[in-house]
Amino acid sequence: MNAAVATRDAGYGDDNQRCANQGGTVVVAGAGNDGSSSLRAYPAAEGAYSLLAVAASNDQGKLAGFSNGGGWIHLAAPGEAITSTVPGGGYATWSGTSMATPLVTGAAALVRQLYPQLNARDVTRCLAATTTGLNGTKLRQLNINNALKALAADPARCH
């Protein structure tokens, strides 16, 4: 499940996350676009069982200037100048953690398809454990190739 919403209200989306977790769903949420390392955006900052909080990176392999970044964030994915479809048809280029979360959601879906024996928690741990460094920060970048290699070697040890 991709949550492209961010608020300062803790508890936002609790019911949705609880339902998703009970159904074995990986929840992917944007970390927010305040350019802050201290502000927490919810639902990403909830710390739920199978939730991945996602920051946005740029094409230089760095945290995007607008993206929140802090110790509560699990990983980053490209989120600056991303071209995608838009409501009503056509394409547009936008930036934001909401542009980064679909990449992580797709990675989680791919892992679930290839390794259906993994539960949502296993998938989130595997994606977080196989990241690569993000320049100039302690945050780490999604690396689906690393995740797939680790899973191919031993699915039980990826997480």
Mean pLDDT of the chain: 86
Does the pLDDT at position 36 exceed 90? no
What average pLDDT does range 1-14 have in this prediction?
Answer: 47
2-157 has which CATH code? 3.40.50.200
Percent of the chain as helix, strand, coil, to the nearest 5: 35, 20, 45
pTM for the full predicted model: 0.84
How, if at all, do strands 51-57 and 75-78 pair?
parallel
Reported as a single tens digit per residue, the pLDDT across 140-152 is 999 999 999 999 9
What residues are paired with 63 via a beta bridge?
A: 57
